[in-house]
């Protein structure tokens, strides 16, 4: 039975979009439709919502949400501009991104995202595309495995884990989440309180397999291009690396083109910022974290598209 997905900071993110009843909005990470339902509740008959998700399970679940104002598309959000172009949509009034893995993906043993179940080691958000985690671990060089776990998981025992993976696969292929979790647990002797020793490595491999940081870096400029002046972009991230990308992008777009140091270029000749930062970063309340522990690391950042020439 699939676990219901509880979207984090949902009310805050949708409120930040300042929904216009006749507007066009994009939920670029549909999941199980939590944010989309909130947006649709504020749209009038002339409003439109375009929702994307690369997970076929999400698309199948979304079929139950029968609403003529909703267009649901299976696609990674890195193709946001192409999807909108195919739909004949040039600009939109708001875009929502809820980055990372969803509860149904984590709680479905067959997807191989979690070490809580002994299941095939897959981890792909779209099982029909790319290498599974098992296939990657079977062929990747020790240095590559170490770099991925260190960079994306910020795991200090990355070298030891990579060495253990390479040694173990010479004896038998690592095909299940249980195998990998046990291997890491035997390698990582010092554990963080309350955290399974495989937590950081599983997170790192998932981020790498799904190219999550590359996807995020690719979609952010497209969001700015597709927003109308005054349109809002709301991004919820759950990982420090994701939030760093979002924070840096928004700040740079707000600053606009900067003159090289020691080169006196009139400000009028520099391109102005395309975005305006809206408020401060928001985090889940203590009550929300208590009800949904996965909300603990969530960060919501909001920005608004400036008019051309402003």
34 is in an annotated binding site: yes
196 is in an annotated binding site: no
Radius of gyration of the CA atoms of the chain, in A: 21
Cα–chain center distance at 171: 35
238 is in an annotated binding site: no
Task: Report the distance separating Cα 4 and Cα 184, nearest Å.
Answer: 29
CB 236 within 8 A of CB 8: yes
Task: Report the distance separating Cα 237 and Cα 8, nearest Å.
Answer: 10
CB atoms within 10 A of CB 226: 22
Task: Report the distance separating Cα 86 and Cα 78, nearest Å.
Answer: 14
CB 8 within 8 A of CB 294: yes
Closest by CA to 199, choosing from 55, 299, 297, is 297
93 is in an annotated binding site: no
CB 155 within 8 A of CB 200: yes
CB 26 within 8 A of CB 96: yes
Cα–chain center distance at 44: 28
CB atoms within 10 A of CB 278: 15
Task: Report the distance separating Cα 279 and Cα 276, nearest Å.
Answer: 10
Task: Report the distance separating Cα 245 and Cα 225, nearest Å.
Answer: 18
53 is in an annotated binding site: yes
5 is in an annotated binding site: no
98 is in an annotated binding site: yes
Q: What does the H/E/C string look like for 218-269? A: HHHHHHHHHEEEEEEEEEEECCHHHHHHHHHHHHHHHHCCCCCCCCCCCHHH
CB 40 within 8 A of CB 70: yes
Annotated binding site for S-adenosyl-L-methionine: 33-35, 53, 77, 98, 105
Annotated binding site: 33-35, 53, 77, 98, 105
């Amino acid at each position: 039975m699939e676990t219901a997905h509880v979207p984090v900071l949902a009310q805050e993110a949708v409120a930040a979009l300042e929904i216009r009843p006749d507007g066009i909005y994009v939920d670029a990470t549909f999941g199980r439709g939590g944010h989309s339902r909130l947006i649709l509740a504020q749209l009038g008959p002339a409003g439109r919502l375009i929702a994307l998700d690369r997970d076929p399970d999400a698309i199948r679940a979304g079929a139950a949400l029968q609403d003529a104002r909703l267009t649901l598309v299976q696609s990674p959000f890195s193709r946001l501009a192409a999807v909108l172009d195919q739909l004949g949509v040039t600009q939109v009034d708001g875009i929502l991104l809820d980055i990372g893995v969803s509860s149904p993906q984590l709680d479905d043993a067959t997807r191989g995202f979690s070490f809580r179940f002994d299941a095939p080691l897959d981890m792909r958000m779209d099982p029909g595309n790319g290498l599974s985690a098992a296939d990657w671990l079977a062929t990747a060089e020790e240095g590559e495995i170490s770099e991925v776990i260190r960079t994306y998981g910020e795991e200090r025992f990355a070298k030891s884990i990579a060495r253990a993976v390479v040694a173990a696969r010479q004896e038998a292929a690592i095909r299940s989440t249980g195998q990998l979790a046990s291997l890491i647990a035997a390698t990582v002797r010092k554990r963080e309180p309350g955290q399974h020793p495989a937590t950081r490595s599983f997170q790192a491999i998932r981020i790498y397999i799904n190219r999550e940081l590359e996807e995020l870096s690719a979609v952010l400029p497209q969001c700015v291009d597709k927003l109308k002046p005054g349109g809002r972009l709301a991004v919820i991230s759950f990982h420090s690396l994701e939030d760093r990308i979002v924070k840096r992008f928004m700040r740079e777009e707000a600053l606009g083109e900067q003159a090289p140091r020691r080169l006196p270029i009139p400000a009028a000749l520099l391109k102005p910022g395309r975005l305006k930062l809206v408020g401060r970063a928001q985090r889940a309340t203590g009550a929300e974290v208590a009800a949904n522990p996965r909300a603990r690391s969530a960060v919501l950042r909001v920005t608004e598209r400036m008019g051309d020439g402003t």
